């Protein structure tokens, strides 16, 4: 059986939307294809009349800085994110999370937009976008709309984006400034099934007295969607950013969050212990960076 009949390469967002419209819901956007082609092969999606490739849309391949705001095109690959100095310096957790996606072959073609549009609660790049409080722009036939990133996700594999009618175009986020930093750590089986046991992205800003001013924490997979750990964030605000406070919050995270047993990932008992470890590692690295202390980048390889 043919998994798709026609393949079109769009050169603008308008052209992609027109092509989708021409197929009346029977076509689907493809970027790197590292999720979609497997989904089609495994029968998770019905065969498509057409695939619409967005990797040649110039605006979706851009990384642009506008003051303290960073815009990342949805068609930017994980490898490009890892290699971009401004993201290394001022959105470090995104580099650390995109840097552990698959292997080099996957990262060279897989996109940040595909990671978000696939809407999995363990998606590494997505966890960092959530911790960084990013926004996502979605183009529809009737115009474009910016969504706070958390509002994009509806359930596992489900989002507000309909890739048979809409295009996820760009992400927008505030770069970390002085006295701010971010970090991402992940625990993964060294061999076998390519599913993370748990990932944790953290973004912090400290005030002049070294207290937590703003905090973004996203761990996954824990719930059906990638979500902020608001209870932990609230407990940190106003507290001094020192190892004892970090240890207290990491320990609290173990009690407050409830990951499930997954036969492909690990038992709930093991994963809950890893919450404490990941929170401690990620918060310590983010605070060190906010304080100007050099911290080696996290790499799972």
Ligand X SMILES: Cc1cc2nc3c(=O)[nH]c(=O)nc-3n(C[C@H](O)[C@H](O)[C@H](O)COP(=O)(O)OP(=O)(O)OC[C@H]3O[C@@H](n4cnc5c(N)ncnc54)[C@H](O)[C@@H]3O)c2cc1C
Interface with ligand X by CB under 6 A: which residues? 28-36, 38, 54, 74, 100-102, 106, 110-111, 113-115, 117-118, 123-124, 161, 163, 167-168, 194
Q: How far apart are CA 78 and CA 200, in angstroms?
A: 18
Q: How far apart are CA 226 and CA 154, in angstroms?
A: 10
Q: Which of 157, 115, 121 minimizes the C-alpha distance to 136?
A: 115
Q: How far apart are CA 111 and CA 140, in angstroms?
A: 20
Q: How far apart are CA 164 and CA 154, in angstroms?
A: 17
CB of 288 to ligand X, least distance (A): 25
Q: Which is nearer to ligand X, 98 or 205 (CB)?
A: 98
CB of 255 to ligand X, least distance (A): 27
CB atoms within 10 A of CB 162: 15
CB of 301 to ligand X, least distance (A): 11
CB of 115 to ligand X, least distance (A): 3
CB of 196 to ligand X, least distance (A): 6
Q: Which is nearer to ligand X, 108 or 234 (CB)?
A: 108
Per the CB < 8 A criterion, the answer to whether 153 and 168 are in contact is: no
Q: Which is nearer to ligand X, 114 or 216 (CB)?
A: 114
Q: Which is nearer to ligand X, 109 or 245 (CB)?
A: 109
CB of 224 to ligand X, least distance (A): 16
Q: Which is nearer to ligand X, 52 or 206 (CB)?
A: 52
Query: Secondary structure of the chain: what % helix, strand, coil (to 5)?
Result: 35, 30, 35
Tokens for 107, please give them. Answer: 């990262």
End-to-end CA distance of the chain: 38
Query: What is the biggest distance separating any 2 CA atoms in the chain, rounded to whole angstroms?
Result: 64
Q: Which is nearer to ligand X, 70 or 241 (CB)?
A: 70
Q: How far apart are CA 236 and CA 225, in angstroms?
A: 23
Residue closest to ligand X (Cβ): 114
CB of 234 to ligand X, least distance (A): 27
Per the CB < 8 A criterion, the answer to whether 226 and 153 are in contact is: yes
Q: Which is nearer to ligand X, 127 or 241 (CB)?
A: 127
């Amino acid at each position: 059986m043919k998994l798709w009949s026609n393949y079109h390469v769009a050169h603008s967002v308008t052209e992609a939307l027109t092509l989708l419209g021409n197929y009346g819901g029977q076509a689907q956007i493809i970027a790197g294809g590292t999720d979609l082609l497997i989904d089609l092969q495994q029968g998770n999606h019905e065969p498509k009349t057409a695939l619409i490739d967005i990797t040649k849309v110039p605006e979706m391949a851009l990384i642009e800085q506008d003051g303290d705001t960073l815009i990342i095109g949805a068609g930017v690959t994980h490898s490009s994110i890892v290699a971009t100095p401004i993201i290394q310096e001022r959105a470090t957790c995104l580099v650390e999370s995109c840097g552990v996606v698959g292997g080099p072959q996957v990262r060279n073609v897989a996109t940040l937009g595909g990671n978000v549009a696939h809407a999995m609660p363990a998606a590494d790049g997505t966890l960092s976008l959530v911790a960084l409080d990013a926004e996502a722009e979605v183009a529809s036939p009737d115009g474009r709309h910016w969504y706070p990133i958390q509002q994009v996700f509806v359930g596992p594999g489900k989002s507000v984006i309909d890739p048979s009618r809409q295009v996820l175009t760009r992400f927008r986020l505030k770069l970390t400034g002085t006295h701010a930093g971010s970090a991402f750590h992940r625990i993964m089986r060294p061999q076998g099934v390519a599913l993370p046991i748990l990932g944790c992205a953290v973004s912090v800003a400290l005030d002049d007295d070294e207290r937590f001013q703003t905090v973004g924490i996203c761990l996954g997979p824990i719930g059906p969607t990638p979500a902020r750990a608001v209870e932990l964030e609230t407990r940190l605000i106003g507290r001094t950013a020192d190892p004892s406070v970090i240890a207290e919050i990491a320990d609290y995270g173990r009690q407050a969050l409830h990951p499930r047993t997954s036969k492909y990932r690990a038992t709930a008992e093991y994963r809950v212990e890893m919450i404490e470890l990941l929170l401690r590692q990620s918060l310590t690295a983010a605070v060190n960076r906010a304080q100007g202390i050099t911290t080696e980048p996290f790499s799972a390889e």
